[in-house]
Amino acid sequence: MNTPATRKAADGAGSQSGLRDVMPATAVIVDDLRSAFGADEINAAIRDGMQGGERFYASEAGRVIGRPVSLDGRHVVCGEAMVLPLELALKDRNLRD
């Protein structure tokens, strides 16, 4: 498959250190994901993205790995918007008890 990631990987920038240099913010996030979910799982997702799949998507400094997931019919919410005030969280917890 001729995705942007595989095209750019062919020019020598596909090595791990090359991508870390070009996509430093992504590298930090990937390291955190590996710590949280295990390197095997995250590496498999990145490989899928390098082959044009949707399990991993990153775009930084003109480099793209993977394909964005189709969001048809879905809503995207930023992380900060998902955090409940303490009072609401406690109220919800008490309703379940």
> Hunting for tokens 């919410």 — which residue is that?
77
Ranges 6-20, 54-68, 74-88, most confident: 54-68
> Hunting for tokens 């490989």 — which residue is that?
47
Position 35 confidence tier, pLDDT thresholds 50, 70, 90: very high
Q: What is the pLDDT of residues 39-63, one digit of tens each?
A: 999 999 999 999 989 899 998 988 9
**Taking Cα atoms as reference points, which of 36, 56, 38, 37 lies closest to residue 46?**
56
pLDDT top residue among 4 and 63: 63
